[in-house]
A and B are shown apart, each in its own frame.
Chain A
Amino acid sequence: EPEVTQTPSHQVTQMGQEVILRCVPISNHLYFYWYRQILGQKVEFLVSFYNNEISEKSEIFDDQFSVERPDGSNFTLKIRSTKLEDSAMYFCASREPGPYYGYTFGSGTRLTVV
């Protein structure tokens, strides 16, 4: 069964550093998403991406964050100048054109900012 692949599985970074979280969505999917889950809490929407541009972003997704699909397969989330409160699980997801199918999520990247 096709999978969404996320790397790395766990990243530790120092406060103020930049991190790039990587995702390879399922190849025939057209819609891509990043979600965040602070440990044990709600899964929060960050951003959606379609046709090589952001289609929607949440209040959380401020100037510190950016997304890119640099080569037609990878989908990256960059966090500039990380803060302690950025520590969370970050999930990438993709879906087919029909929303009925829901998302396929990657296994997540656990980001720890120290």
Chain B
Amino acid sequence: AQTVTQSQPEMSVQEAETVTLSCTYDTSESNYYLFWYKQPPSRQMILVIRQEAYKQQNATENRFSVNFQKAAKSFSLKISDSQLGDTAMYFCAFMTTGANSKLTFGKGITLSVRP
């Protein structure tokens, strides 16, 4: 079974600064997918960024980028130029490549962006 660990329950960052959210996972699979989802106070689950395990290049989406270290089973999210709208809960998630794959989530981290 796969597990996803987010050990930091909450973080705070000053507006316009950079913050990194940590995530580790455990799996015996060689190929899989990793995701970060954002959950703002509205409770909607919004996909932030995705990474395919066999791709060595780290994914980037505008101000969001990941540091994917496959050997260490680490998948951290970097948010640059933090904005007040980034205040949310962030979930790291793992998915296998099988047809019946499902998302397994970490416990989440609450990020607060201070003005």
- A contact residues vs B (CB 8 Å cutoff): 33, 35, 37, 41-45, 48, 50, 55-56, 89, 91, 93, 99-105, 107-108, 110
Of the four ranges (under 10, 10 to 19, 20 to 34, 35 or more), the interface on chain B belongs to: 20 to 34
Q: B16 in the interface, Cβ–Cβ < 8 Å?
A: no
Whole-angstrom distance between the alpha carbons of A55 and B107 in the complex? 24
List chain B residues, Cβ under 8 A from A89: 43
| A108 B100 Cβ-Cβ under 8 A | no
Q: B73 in the interface, Cβ–Cβ < 8 Å?
A: no
How many residue-residue contacts, CB under 8 A, span A and B? 60
| A99 B97 Cβ-Cβ under 8 A | yes
| A42 B108 Cβ-Cβ under 8 A | yes
List chain B residues, Cβ under 8 A from A110: 43
Q: Which of B80-103 contact A (CB under 8 A)?
A: 91, 93, 95-103
List chain B residues, Cβ under 8 A from A105: 37, 44-46
Q: B15 in the interface, Cβ–Cβ < 8 Å?
A: no
Task: Give which listed residue, A43, A45, A56, contacts B45 with CB less than 8 A.
Answer: A43
| B47 A107 Cβ-Cβ under 8 A | no
Whole-angstrom distance between the alpha carbons of A16 and B44 in the complex? 28
| B102 A33 Cβ-Cβ under 8 A | yes
Task: Give which listed residue, A45, A50, A55, A107, contacts B43 with CB less than 8 A.
Answer: A107
| B105 A102 Cβ-Cβ under 8 A | no
Give the Cβ gap from B56 to chain A, nearest Cβ, in Å: 16
7 examples of A-B residue contacts, CB within 8 angstroms: A45-B103, A45-B104, A50-B99, A56-B100, A99-B96, A107-B43, A107-B44
| Shortest Cβ distance from A89 into B: residue | B43
| A102 B107 Cβ-Cβ under 8 A | no
Give the Cβ gap from A32 to chain B, nearest Cβ, in Å: 11
